[in-house]
Amino acid sequence: MDQYLDLFLNYLLVEKGAAANTVAAYSRDLARYLSYLGNRTPDQIRPSDVAGYLAHLKGQGMAPRSRARALSALRMLHRFLVVEGYCELNPSSIIEAPKGVHKLPAVLNSRQVEALLAAARGPGAIEQRDTAMLELLYATGLRVSELVGLSLAEVNLSAGYLMTMGKGNKERLVPIGESACQAVSRYLEEAREELLRGKGSRNLFVSRLGEGMTRQAFWNIIKKRALQAGISTAISPHTLRHSFATHLLENGADLRSVQIMLGHADLSSTQIYTHVTRERLKRLHGEFHPRG
């Protein structure tokens, strides 16, 4: 089956335009699946094999959400094999996805966001860069890979927008906002050249070594600033993305606009934030209503 996996991954990358991180995730999930199957051809795989694999993952302690993701990956593989004529039947078509508790995304409230942004502020080049990155992330809801991958040419501060390349190599235009524009402008005027140390770079944000920022480096930055801000809950770059979407909806933004800004291909991905806002309303009602 390894040869078919290579063909499928190439199909995802070339024909579907999937991001490299997405292809890598599919590769890991499907390599584990093929290892479980052993030396079978596509026509020899039965629904019982797929069900047995999911049971195997459950026995290893894998969470329902992760097992559902694994099933989604192998469904795509088997659909590809049928469409391309490598086999006649899709053994995964009748297998139901594992049921699990739907976990709502963690978000910061407005007070916590302000504390996080304040913790990064300072006169030094590192502080100015961290402030600019956090302000921009909260103002735009970018994915961390999109944030660290921004080039100078993709940001138009005078017009107040940026262009980013999201999942599936899809470009989208995202407004920035005045506070983020000011923070990024100050970073560009006072800090970036100091961090570059005479080097050249197309990247908007650079490390103290004058090189492009990595996702892991920014992950460490946000954890450090959260600790300084006294935020005890677990926080990641995605937490600010979730907070961006939630706060927009809480303040009256329509779901379709939030979907466009987040770069979600499907509106159902954005609808999770309506659940977050409803949960918040329920908590407020329970806390402040006389009969809550």
198 Ramachandran zone, left/alpha/beta (phi>0; psi -120 to 50): left
At position 217, the amino acid (one-letter code) is A
Calculate mean pLDDT across residues 48-62.
89
Identify whether 241 is a catalytic site residue: yes
Cα 97 from Cα 114, distance rounded (Å): 40
Residue where the block lists tokens 């089956």: 1
Q: Identify the H or E element spanning 174.
A: strand 171-175
Report, as an integer, the average pLDDT of 46-53. 90
- What average pLDDT score do residues 205-230 get? 92
- Specify the range with the lowest mean pLDDT, choosing from 111-120, 155-164, 238-247: 238-247
The 10s digit of each residue's pLDDT in 100-127 is 545 666 788 889 999 999 999 999 999 9
Least confident among 47-51, 127-131, 186-190: 47-51
Mean pLDDT of 160-187: 88
2-83: CATH topology is DNA polymerase; domain 1 (1.10.150)
Q: Which of 143, 225, 242, 247 is catalytic?
A: 143
Position with higher pLDDT, 45 vs 266 = 45
Give me the pLDDT at residue 66, please.
84
* 110-287 under CATH 1.10.443.10, yes or no: yes
Among 163-177, 210-224, 262-276, which stretch is predicted with the lowest mean pLDDT? Answer: 262-276
Least confident range from 52-56, 83-87, 247-251: namely: 247-251
Q: Of these residues, 32, 56, 167, 215, which one is catalytic?
A: 167
pLDDT surpasses 60 at 288: no
Cβ(125)–Cβ(220) below 8 Å: no
Residue listed under structure tokens 């706060």: 247
Q: Is the pLDDT of residue 157 over 90?
A: yes
Candidate list 78, 241, 242, 247, residue with the active-site label:
241
225 is catalytic: no
Q: Which of 56, 75, 264, 280 is catalytic?
A: 264
Instruction: Please give the pLDDT value at position 201.
Output: 92
What is the C-alpha separation between 33 and 65, in angstroms, rounded? 16
Give residue-wise pLDDT tens across range 17-43: 778 888 888 899 899 999 998 888 888
Rounded to an integer, the average pLDDT of 201-229 is 92
167 is catalytic: yes
What residue spans in the chain does CATH classification 1.10.150.130 cover?
A: 2-83
Give the percent of the chain with pLDDT over 90: 35
- Among candidate residues 172, 186, 238, 280, the one labeled active-site is 238
- Count the Cβ atoms, other than its own, within 10 Å of residue 223: 15
CATH 1.10.443.10 occupies which residues in the chain? 110-287
Confirm whether 56 is a catalytic residue.
no
Q: Give the pTM.
A: 0.63
